[in-house]
Structure 1
Amino acid sequence: MDGQKVIEARKINKFFYSPGKTQVLKEVTFSVKKGEFVSVMGKSGCGKSTLLYILSTMDTDYEGELYLDGNLITGQSSNYLSHLRNEKIGFVFQFHYLIHEFSVLENVMIPGLKLNQKSREELEQIAMEKLKVFDMQDHALKKANQLSGGQKQRVSIARALMNNPLIIMSDEPTGNLDKKNSDLVLGIFKELVQEFHQTMLMVTHDFDMASKTDRTIVMEDGMIISHG
């Protein structure tokens, strides 16, 4: 770990305005270094998913500063942020958001197709390599709806890796999986960090999941109460 900050939040404040003004994030400041596996934990409603939405550049309506790879991204245009997201951030959600009528291979290729920097042939090759990491290459031509829940989540992780992102952000990735598949997904995450030096940020309310990451940031009532 070379100490390089991949993402840094400085004094992030977020308000919701329905019906009255409610502050949901209060002076949130922290950073994640290259190759770190960090979890953000807290009870439902503590602001962790709201924070992830801001960190992932999908919500730009906040106060404070956000840096990605050393660059200030607060205040950048939506086109710039869209490209940045696609190039530098991989996403894994509780619900895998696979397109059912697409093949497994096509689903994994989507971030590469969006980035539009390589030929379709190159992208197919890269997608197959990512599927091999998760032992899913034999399912490449199946439709996504033919897979089990655990297999779908593995495909969604392969998809998150498609553009070799700077960081993977994950929101309750095992929320709808049983223990066996949850352990499998967590094992994959740990392997990505250890073998591929991937930086990971995972939001979870599951103490057991959080305890297996390098560091846990604990949130309560929109504030960070512990940096782990």
Structure 2
Amino acid sequence: MSEIILEARHINKYFHDPVTIKVLSDITFSINKGEFVSVTGKSGCGKSTLLYILSTMDTDYEGELLIDNEIMTNKKEAQLARIRNEKIGFVFQFHYLLKEFTVLKNVMLPALNLNRFSEQQVEEKAMQHLKILGIEHLALKHANKLSGGEKQRVAIARALINDPLIIMGDEPTGNLDKKNGEIVFNIFKQLAEEFNQTLFIVTHDQDFAAHTHRIIEMEDGKIISK
């Protein structure tokens, strides 16, 4: 039986500014371990709003969210922050690397914050991830000296450092040229197929989405195919 990593049950979301508008309507689906899922739809259809709810960063919604079979509703912010750090890896369109730190230090930071392993263990683990992504030679370079494609690979290594149950991406190839976009896609594919990593990626790139295991298509705040 497949192991469900994330489940949304009848999620509704409203914005109240100044009038009330329903922006997500009856969102229900689940994601199994090792699935590489993309979410597509036109701008304004609710993709990013949904991602913020699923990543526990937005708690103002109706319905239920379960991560690792644990219900997220009504948890305190400190609990949600720990769940995010332990169970979710993030890759955004902009890499958000700290330019004053080396690549290695940037990758280590989420694990140092989690404080589950010694600094030496975290450093060894970070180097392993850099090797998997083919960028171990950049370990001691400062983040501001990297190309866009290199920065995004460092961001993926950072997302992996705490062995998350799921990696969530918001347009992770949106800022890259075609070649670097393909490199990032192939890394995600390898993570899913060789390492059984679960991925949930919001993207405008139809070619990217077409090659994932499954597409969730959204329109006007609803899922129209999954």
Q: TM-score, normalised by structure 1?
A: 0.98
Cα distance in structure 1, aligned partners of 2:19 and 2:204 = 27
1:130-169 equivalence runs, <5 A: 130-169=129-168
Cα distance in structure 2, aligned partners of 1:75 and 1:47 = 23
Flag structure 1 segments of 5+ consecutive residues without an equivalent: none
Cα distance in structure 2, aligned partners of 1:3 and 1:38 = 15
Cα distance in structure 2, aligned partners of 1:225 and 1:134 = 35
Cα distance in structure 1, aligned partners of 2:114 and 2:171 = 26
Matched, 1:16 2:15: yes
Cα distance in structure 2, aligned partners of 1:92 and 1:212 = 19
Could you say what secondary structure the match of 1:125 adopts?
helix
Question: Which residue of structure 2 aligns with residue 205 of structure 1?
Answer: 204
Query: What CA deviation, in whole Å up to 9, does each residue of 1:60-98 have, x standing for no partner?
Result: 010000000111111111111000000000000000000
Structure 1 residue 205 displacement after superposition? 1.5
**1:143 partner amino acid:** H
Question: Which residue of structure 2 aligns with residue 91 of structure 1?
Answer: 90
Question: Which residue of structure 2 aligns with residue 224 of structure 1?
Answer: 223
Query: What CA deviation, in whole Å up to 9, does each residue of 1:156-207 have, x standing for no partner?
Result: 0000000110000000000010000000000000000011000000001111
Question: Which residue of structure 1 aligns with residue 127 of structure 2?
Answer: 128
Structure 1 residue 126 displacement after superposition? 0.6
**1:76 partner amino acid:** K
Question: Which residue of structure 2 aligns with residue 46 of structure 1?
Answer: 45
**1:53 partner amino acid:** Y
Cα distance in structure 2, aligned partners of 1:102 and 1:190 = 28
Q: How many residues align?
A: 226
Structure 1 residue 110 displacement after superposition? 1.1
Could you say what secondary structure the match of 1:85 adopts?
helix
Question: Which residue of structure 2 aligns with residue 118 of structure 1?
Answer: 117
Question: Which residue of structure 2 aligns with residue 172 of structure 1?
Answer: 171
Could you say what secondary structure the match of 1:13 adopts?
strand
Cα distance in structure 2, aligned partners of 1:205 and 1:221 = 15
Query: What CA deviation, in whole Å up to 9, does each residue of 1:101-151 have, x standing for no partner?
Result: 010000000110110111111111111111011111111011000000000
Structure 1 residue 19 displacement after superposition? 1.4
**1:83 partner amino acid:** R
Could you say what secondary structure the match of 2:43 adopts?
coil
Question: Which residue of structure 1 aligns with residue 75 of structure 2?
Answer: 76
Question: Which residue of structure 2 aligns with residue 196 of structure 1?
Answer: 195
Q: TM-score, normalised by structure 2?
A: 0.99
Matched, 1:183 2:182: yes
Cα distance in structure 2, aligned partners of 1:215 and 1:63 = 26
TM superposition outliers: structure 1 runs of 4+ over 6 Å: none
Cα distance in structure 1, aligned partners of 2:188 and 2:136 = 18
Could you say what secondary structure the match of 1:22 adopts?
strand
Query: What CA deviation, in whole Å up to 9, does each residue of 1:20-77 have, x standing for no partner?
Result: 1111100100110011000111000000000000000000010000000111111111
**1:179 partner amino acid:** K
